[in-house]
Amino acid sequence: MKYCSNCGAPVEHRVPPGDTLPRHVCPACGSVHYQNPKVVVGALAEWGGRILLCRRAIEPRQGFWTLPAGFMENRETTAEAAARETLEEACARIQVGALYTLFDIPHISQVHLVYRAQLLDLNFRPGEESLDVALFDEADIPWREIAFRSIERTLRLYFEDRRRGHWPLHTGSILPSTNPPFD
């Protein structure tokens, strides 16, 4: 950030009074511009034991498979974000269930939340951000083509939990990898 969004003056990067972290501070009007992690919300949508995946039409990881997910918008709940993203990316309607995974990804300043969900019907198709959408059995998941580690971990946990018949909330952190785009 170079200029204040309130008055247009150049900003300084310093620790403001009463804070402990450097922020973008406007010396002209005093505004402190906070930059906080982004929340990414998605749905693990099920139908007859199969999972809905979307092949990404956009970067990052264009051409790779993921659960329908994206950035939460202002003025929506996380469950509403999961349903909206599923509708946008897969043109699919879902009944959102329980929160299933919550992963902190501090090195890219994101938090990923995935809800379990049920597809309401089979009327789905690729949205603008998807090249393809399909239902997958566990044996058919394209594991080497999963776009993000949080999604791969969510899928693996789902199939383990399904075998056990136990659905806990999973939380944790995903740390930097040797393959940074795969976060």
If asked whether residues 5 and 84 sit together in one domain, one would say no
User: Per-residue pLDDT tens for 88-114?
Assistant: 999 999 999 999 999 999 999 999 999
Q: What is the pLDDT of residue 178?
A: 72
Domain that holds residue 87: 38-174
Q: What is the pLDDT of residue 171?
A: 98
If asked whether residues 128 and 79 sit together in one domain, one would say yes
Residue whose C-alpha is closest to residue 154's, from 176, 86, 162 = 162
Concatenating the DSSP letter of every residue in 110-172 gives EEEEEEEEEES-S-----TTEEEEEEE-GGG--GGGBS-HHHHHHHHHHHHHHHHT----EEE
User: Per-residue pLDDT tens for 130-182?
Assistant: 999 999 999 999 999 999 999 999 999 999 999 999 999 999 999 998 766 56
Q: How far apart are CA 72 and CA 143, in angstroms?
A: 26
Q: Say whether pTM exceeds 0.85.
A: yes
Kindly state the average pLDDT of the residues 30-56: 97
Q: Quote the number of domains for the chain.
A: 2
Q: Residue 13: which CATH number? A: 2.20.70.10
- In the chain, the percentage of residues whose pLDDT exceeds 90 is 96
Q: How far apart are CA 7 and CA 92, in angstroms?
A: 43
In a domain, 181, yes or no: no
